[in-house]
Structure 1
Amino acid sequence: MRRLVKHPVGLAAAVLVVAMLLLAVVGPPLFGDRADAIHPDRINQGAGGAHWSGTDALGRDLLARTLVATRLTLGLAFLATLVGTCGGVLLGALPSLLPRRAGRLVVAAVDLLVAFPALLLAMFTAVVTGLGARGAVLGIGVALAPTFARLTHTLTASVAGADYIAAARMLQVPRRRILTRHILPNIAEPLILNTAQAMGGALLGLSAMSFLGMGVQAPSYDWGRLLNEAFGHVYVTPAVVVAPALAVALAGLGFMLVGDTFAKAAAGATAPVGRTIPPAVPPTRDAPDPDAVLEVRDLTVAFPGGVTPVRGLSLTVRAGEIVGLVGESGSGKSMTAAAIGQIVPYPGLTASARTALCGVELDSRTPAERRALLGSSLAMVFQDPTAALNPALRIGGQLAEVATLHDGATAAEARARAVERLGRVHIKEPAQVVRQYPHELSGGMRQRAVIAMGLMGTPRLIIADEPTTALDVTVQREVLRVLREVVDDSRAGALFISHDIAVVSELCERVAVMYAGRVVEELPADALRRARHPYTRALIGSLPDMGTDRALPLATIPGRQPSPADVGDGCPFADRCASAGERCTSLPLLTARGAGHQVACWEA
C-alpha cells in the first residue's frame, strides 16, 4: 500500500476506485428518485442547466441514471470476476490433480480457449445460457477463466519442482492436499493481484454486452444499457452518451491501473516495503563487535502460511576467520545465507535486530546503497556452480561484469583482472579459460571459477553454501584449500555452510550448529568432541571414521526434523532426544558454557 500511495498514477487510480465504490453505495438512495422521474415535456433533450447530460426517451435525467447504475454495474462486474477467478483457478489446478494424460488434455483445452477471442466466447456463452444479466455475468466469467487457468497452471508448474513438493509426494500426501496446502498458498498473491486487472476487464466486457443488447435488460439498467438506449440519438444530442461512456472509461481504467501498480510493486522487491515480522525470540542488545565483518542479531525469515525457516538466529564472523554452519537438510542454513545476502525469494519476509556488514547496518541504508555494499563486499559461492554461471556466456565475460559494474573498470582492465583471479584459484591456463563456456569446464573448475567471480571485487565476507557437495573427494580438497588460501591472503571472513561436520571441523575455527531454524550450539571447531548439545553429539556420533566397527550398523538419529511450518514452542529436538525432560516443553536459549561455547539445552 505504501508503494501504491507513493506512485502518482497508482494513487490517482486508487482514489478513482474508492470514489466509484462509494458512489455505488450512496448513489441509489441519493439519486434514485431523480433517475426514475419521468418528464414527457423533456424527452431527448441535450445538456442544459437542469440536466447536465441530457435526458432519455422518457425525459429521465441521464446523469442521475448513470450515478445510480454504478451499483449494478460494479456488482455484476464483481460477480463476473469471481466466476472467472474461481473457475480459472480450478481449471488451472486440475492438471496437478488428474493423471498425466488427462492433465495434458485440460492444458490443451485451456490453450484453445485462450486463443479464442474473449468477447466472442462471452457472447456465445450468453446466448446459450440466456440473454440478460445472468447470461452476461456467466459469459464474461467464462471469458476470464482461461486467462486465470493459464496463469494458475504456469505458477503451479513453477513451484511443482520444489524440494518440499517432492518430499510431500514421497510421503504419499494426497494430491489434493499438496495443492491446497503446499501449492496454492505460494501462488495466491499473483492471482490476487491479477484479480484487480480482471475486474476492469469484466466491467468493460459487461458494458459491451449490454450495449449490444445481450446484457442487462429493461427496466434494469447499467452503464452499457444506458449507452444502448442513448445511441439512437447520439447524432442529434451527442451529450447523452458522455456520462455513461465516461463512467465506463474511468472505472475500467481505475481498476486496471490499481492492479498494474500492485503487480509492479510486488515484482520490484523481494519483500514488500514496510512489512515486518516479529522476532522468534526476544531481541538482544549486545554491543557491536568492532572486529566483525558480519554481525547478525535475531534474524528471522518467514513465508506466508506460517512457514518460518529461520528463527531468531545470531551469528558473528570476524576478519580472517572461517565460521562453519552445519545441520541437517532443512535446518535453515541456505535461507540464512540468502537473508544475509538480501536474496530471500519473494514473498519471503526478513526481520532482525541488527544485520551489519563491515560495520555498516544494512537496514539503515537505501536499496541502492545496500546493493553497492553487498556487490563489492560480499562474495557468494553457491552449491551448484552450473546454476550460478550463465551457460550462454563465456567465463571471462561473466567475471568481468563484476568489475565493470561495481568498480567502473574498462573492458580490458576487467578481462585482465579475470585472468589474474582465475590463476589465483589455481586454474591452469586462465587466459584460455576466460574464452570458454561453463559446460567446457569440469565441476571443480566451475566451482573455482565461481570463487574467482566472488574475488573480482574486494570482498570482506565470503559465504560458501555447500560448495563441495557435488564434487569428488580429491576435487573437494582442492576447493577447500583454495578457500582457505583466499581467506588467509585477503583477511576476509567466511561463512562455510555444510552438512558434513567432518569437513567443517578441518576447515573452520568456529562452528555453529543449526536445528529447525535456530542455532542450538556454537563452539570452537577443535572442541567438537566436547560438544554438549544432544543434537551436536548425535551428528558427530553418526560420522564413521577409520576405527568404526563395520560389523555394526551405522549410528543414526531417530525421527526427523520438524518442517518450518510445524515447529512448536518448546525445544524442537525434544521428540528425538533421549535426554528430554519436563523443562524441554519451553524453548531453551543460548547460554554460555565456557569460553566461546554456547548451548541451547536445558539438560546439557
Structure 2
Amino acid sequence: MTSRSRGKASGPIGRSRGNGEGAAGRSRGNGEGLAGRLRRNVPGVAGAVIVALMAVLAVVGPLVWGETAGRIDAAHILQGASPGHPLGTDNLGRDLLARVLVAGRFSLLLALAATLIGAVAGVVLGALPSVLPRRGARLATGTVNALVAFPGLLLAMFTAVVAGLGARGAVLGIGAAIAPGFARLTQTLAATVAGADYVSAARMLGVPRRRILTRHVLPNIAEPLILNLTQALGGALLGLAGMSFLGLGVQPPDFDWGRLLFDGFPRIYVTPEVALGPAAAIALAGIGFNLLGDALARAAARTSVPAGEEAPPAVAPAGEPDPGALLEVRDLTVTFPGGVTPVRELSLTVAPGEIVGLVGESGSGKSLTAAAIGGLVPYPGAVTYAALRLGGRDMATLSDKELGTALAMVFQDPLAALNPALKVGGQLAEVAVVHEGAGRAEARRRAVDRLGHVHLPEPARRAAQHPHELSGGMRQRAVIAMGLMGTPRLIVADEPTTALDVTVQGQILRLLRELVEETGAATLFISHDIAVVGELCDRVVVMYAGRVVEELPADRLAAGAAHPYTKALIASLPALDTDRSKPLAGIPGTQPAPARVGPGCAFAPRCALATDRCREERPVLVAHGPGQRVACWEVK
C-alpha cells in the first residue's frame, strides 16, 4: 500500500490534489483549466500582473517618455533626486526615471531574443540522443553533460567576448548559458518518449530521424518546455543586466537597465537613487517572470489535459451520497487525447468491511479505474465523474493528511512500489512522519509493529533491510504494512498477487481477508483471475472494454452469472476434471482498443448471442435478481 511521494513508494496514498476541486460533475483532470488554477495561485497572479505591466511598459514607454529620456540638459548634469527628476539625472542631464521607463522595451527584447536562442539550441541538442545512432547519441549526451557542468556565467562571458562586446555578444552569451539547461530538460523528457512503442514502430518503418524528432518526440514534450520558457526569460533578463553591468553588454549610446545600473553605480554612495531605479526594475521584472513561470508549471502539473485539448464534458451530479457505501463511484470516465477512453461511465459502491472484486481481461480498464480513484491517472489523462466519494465526502475535498491516512493502495509489483535505495523500515516510518506528524523514534517503532502485524518474520530485522533483500511475498507484506501505518478506511488492491507463486498468493489473500475483518475497511480488489476473485470477494463487478457489464454476489458467480462475457470467463477456467485431450476453452476474438469501441455492446463481435440491436445500441445495467445487475439485451 503505497503513496505518491516517490512514484509508488512509502505509505498510504498521499494524492496530489490537483485532480479535481470538489463539486460533483467536475473533471479531476482539467475541471477548471490552467487559467482557473492560475487565478487561485496568489504568487502566480502577482507574477502575471508584473509581467503584464512590463509588457505594457515595453509598448508605451518609448512612445510616452522617449523624447524626455533623450533630452540633454547641461544645467542639470549629475543631479540627485528632485521634484523635476525623481531619480536624478546622468552625466548629460538626461532624466533617469524616463530612461528607466524607456529601457524596458530594449531590456525585454534582448531577454526574449536570448531565451529563444538558448531554447532552440538546447532543445535541438537535448533531443538528438533520442533519435541518433548509439555513438552519435553518446556524443550528444556527453556534450550536454559537459555544458551543464560548465559555469553558466563563465560560458556567457566567454561567448560574449568571442562574439564581440555589445548587445549582440551579450544575447549570444546568455543564450549559450541558457541552452544547457534546456538541453538537459529536453534530454530527460525525450528519454521518456523515445522508448514508447509508437517511436519504435516509426523506427522499424524507416521513418527519417528528423521526422521522428519533429512528429513523435517534440510534440509530446512541448508543454513543459514552453512553460520553462517563462522562467528562462526571467533568468535571461537578469543575466543580460549583469552582462551590461560588467561592461560586456549594451554599449552607449544604446542603454538597457543593466547599462543604466552600470552608469549609476559610481554615484551610489552620494546619490543612491540613480542606481536604485534600474536595480528595482531589474529585480521586479525578474521576480515577475519567475513567479509566473513557477505558477504556470504548478498549474500545468495539476492539469491532465494538454493545452489545446478540451476536457471531457462533466456529467450530471449523482445526487445525495449513498449512506451504505464507504466508496461511491458514479459515472467515472477516463479519457486520453485522440478519443481514447479506456474507462466509460463506471459506477460502483463498496461498503465498510466489504471486498468487491473488479475483474476482466487485460485492457478492460481495471487498473485505470484504481488509478482514477487514487488520483494517479498519468498525464495526459483526464478524469470526470458525477460522484467520487469516500465516507460520503467528495475525495477531491479531502486534505492530503485525511486522504493519506484513509486510502491505501496495494500494487502488483512490490519491488517497484518500494524505493530500492531506502530501508524498508524507513519507508514505512515516513508515512507516520509525513501524514501524522509522529516523531522518528515513534514512527520507526510503529513500522516494526506493523511489519509484525502482517506476519513478516523477524520484523525488526526486516525493517533494517533493503527491499531487494526480501522475497517477493515479504515485499508484498511490507507494502501492505505501509497501509496499516495509518488507519485505512479504503484499500484498493490492484492485482497484488499476480507476481507471486500460488502458495504465497494464498497467504496474501488470507492476510487481506484478516485485515478487512479486523479494520472494517472497504476493499476494492482488482484482478484478471476470476477464480481468485470468487474465492476472496463478497461481490464481483465484471468489466469489459471500459464498462461494467455485470455485477453480482460472489457466491452466485459460478452458477448465477448471466452476461455472456462473465459466463465465458468462468468457462475458460480449467478444473481438475477438465478433459486434457480437448483444447482449453477460450473466448474467440479480441477486446476492442479503447479508441475503437463502437456505439453498441462492445462484446457483440465475440458473442454468439449478439443481434443487430446489440451491435447498434449499447445496453444499460438493469436489475437481474437480488444484488445482481446485467448489461445485455439478450438476458431476460
CA gap 1:401/1:69 in 2 versus in 1, 3 angstroms: closer
1:198 positional shift: 0.9
Once the two structures are overlaid, the 10-residue window that deviates more, 431-440 or 80-89, is: 431-440
Tell me the CA shift for residue 65 of structure 1: 2.6
2:369 paired with 1:340:
no
Cα distance in 1 for partners of 2:510, 2:357 equals 15
Instruction: Check 1:168–1:473 CA distance in 2 against 1; reply closer, same or farther (3 A cut).
Output: farther
Which of these residues, 538, 542, 553, is aligned with residue 509 of structure 1? 538
Does 2:525 match 1:496?
Answer: yes
Per-residue deviation, 1:250:
2.1
Is the alpha carbon distance of 1:377 and 1:252 closer, same or farther for their aligned partners in structure 2, counting shifts above 3 Å?
closer
1:524 maps onto 2:553 in alignment: yes
Correspondent of 1:292 among 305, 325, 348: 325
| Contact 2:538 2:553 survives alignment (8 Å) | yes
- 1:392–1:54 Cα change, 3 Å: closer
CA distance, structure 2, for counterparts of residue 559 and residue 310 of structure 1: 17
Instruction: Please state how far the C-alpha of 1:403 moved relative to its aligned partner.
Output: 6.3
Query: By how many angstroms is 1:160 displaced?
Result: 5.7
Task: Please list the CA deviations of residues 463-493 of structure 1 after superposition, one character each: whole Å capped at 9, or x if unmatched.
Answer: 2111111111222222223323433454433
Distance 1:39 1:158 in 2: 61
In 1: Cα distance, 2:91 partner to 2:314 partner: 71
Residue type of the alignment partner of 1:196: T
Structure 2 match to 1:48? 82
Equivalent residue, structure 1, for 2:593: 562
2:97 is the counterpart of 1:63: yes
User: Corresponding residue for 1:256?
Assistant: 290
- What letter corresponds to residue 321 of structure 2 in structure 1? P
Shift of 1:98: 1.1
Q: Which residue pairs with 1:86 in the alignment?
A: 120
Residues 50 and 297 from structure 1, CA distance in 2 versus in 1: closer, same or farther, beyond 3 angstroms? same
The aligned counterpart of 2:111 is 77
Please point out which of 239, 244, 248 is paired with 2:278: 244
User: Larger relative CO (CA 8 A, sep 6+): 1 or 2?
Assistant: 2
1:467-506 alignment to 2 at 5 Å? Answer: 467-506=496-535
1:431-457 CA distance string (max 9 Å, x none) = 665565543432123223333443455
The one-letter code of the counterpart of 2:621 is: L
**How far did residue 355 of structure 1 move?**
2.1
Contact 1:511/1:522 (<8 A) preserved: yes
* Shift, 1:496, TM fit: 0.9
Structure 1 residues 244 and 284: alpha-carbon distance in aligned structure 2, compared to 1, 3 A threshold: closer
- In structure 2, the CA distance between the partners of 1:294 and 1:249, relative to structure 1 (3 Å rule), is closer
How many Å apart are 1:237 and its aligned residue?
6.5
Residues 200-599 of structure 1 aligned to structure 2 (within 5 Å) = 200-211=234-245, 215-216=249-250, 220-227=254-261, 239-263=273-297, 282-283=315-316, 285=318, 288-302=321-335, 309-344=342-377, 350-365=383-398, 367-368=399-400, 371-372=401-402, 374-391=403-420, 395=424, 399=428, 425-428=454-457, 433=462, 436-525=465-554, 526-527=556-557, 531=561, 533=563, 535-536=565-566, 539-540=569-570, 542-545=572-575, 547=578, 552=583, 555=586, 557-559=588-590, 561-563=592-594, 566=595, 570-571=599-600, 573=602, 577=606, 579=610, 581=612, 584=615, 588-599=619-630
Query: By how many angstroms is 1:75 displaced?
Result: 1.9
Shift of 1:159: 6.0
Name the CA shift for 1:80/1:540 in 2 (closer, same or farther; >3 Å).
Answer: farther
Distance 1:363 1:218, change over 3 A: same
RMSD: 4.2
The Cα shift of 1:316 comes to 0.8
> TM-score, normalization: structure 2?
0.78
Deviations for 1:193-214, whole angstroms, at most 9, x for unmatched residues? 4322211111122234445565
**What SS does the aligned partner of 1:292 have?**
coil
Which consecutive unaligned segments of at least 5 residues does structure 1 have?
A: none
Residue pair 1:279, 1:352 contacting (<8 A) in 2 also: no
Q: Which amino acid aligns with 1:597?
A: Q
Task: Indicate if the aligned counterparts of 1:4 and 1:262 stay in contact, CA closer than 8 A.
Answer: yes
Structure 1 residues 191, 515: closer, same or farther in 2, change over 3 A? farther
Q: Which moved more, 1:381-390 or 1:519-528?
A: 519-528
- TM-score by length of structure 1 reads 0.81
1:112 aligns with 2:146: yes
Q: 8 Å contact 2:601–2:617 — kept in the other structure?
A: no
Distance 1:142 1:392, change over 3 A: closer
Output the amino acid matched with 2:60.
V
Closer, same or farther: CA 251–279 of 1 in aligned 2, 3 Å:
closer
Distance across 2 between alignment mates of 1:189 and 1:54: 45
Q: Count matched residues.
A: 591
**1:235 CA displacement:** 8.1
Residues 427 and 46 (structure 1 numbering): CA distance in 2 closer, same or farther, change over 3 Å? closer
Q: Aligned to 2:321, what secondary structure does the other structure show?
A: coil
Q: Secondary structure at the match of 2:328?
A: strand
Change in CA separation of 1:246 and 1:520 when aligned onto 2, cut-off 3 Å? same
The SS at the match of 1:468 is coil
| CA–CA separation in structure 1 for the residues paired with 2:84 and 2:583 | 99
Cα shift at 1:264: 5.9
Shift of the alpha carbon at 1:9? Answer: 4.9
**Alignment check: 8 A CA contact 2:104 2:256 kept:** yes
d(CA) in 2 for partners of 1:524 and 1:284?
Answer: 27
CA contact 2:357–2:526 (8 Å) conserved in 1: yes
User: What code does the residue aligned with 1:331 have?
Assistant: S
2:131 aligns to what? 97
Matching residue within 169, 178, 185 for 2:200: 169
Q: Provide the rounded CA distance (Å) in 1 between the counterparts of 2:241 and 2:158.
A: 16
Report deviation, 1:68: 1.9
- Report if the CA contact (8 A) 2:330-2:386 is conserved: yes
CA apart distance, 1:69: 2.2
Q: Give yes or no for contact 2:126–2:182 (8 Å, CA) kept in 1.
A: yes
Tell me the secondary structure at the aligned position of residue 532 of structure 2: helix
Deviations 1:527-580 (A, max 9, x none): 4666555654554555545526555477355345425xx356735837954647
1:253 deviates by: 2.8
In structure 1, give the amino acid aligned to 2:347. S
CA contact (8 A) 2:318 2:387 kept: no
State how far apart, in whole Å, the 2-side matches of 1:189 and 1:70 are.
Answer: 28
Amino acid of the residue matched to residue 353 of structure 1?
A: A
Note if contact 1:277-1:351 (Cα within 8 Å) is conserved in structure 2: no
Q: 2:315·2:385 contact (CA, 8 Å) conserved in 1?
A: no
SS at match of 1:555: coil
Displacement of 1:96 in angstroms is 0.9
Counterpart contact for 1:520–1:600, Cα < 8 Å: yes
SS in 2 for 1:596: coil
Q: Residue 583 and residue 248 in structure 1: after superposition, are their counterparts in 2 closer, same or farther (change >3 A)? A: same
CA distance in 1: counterparts of 2:427 and 2:271, whole angstroms: 66
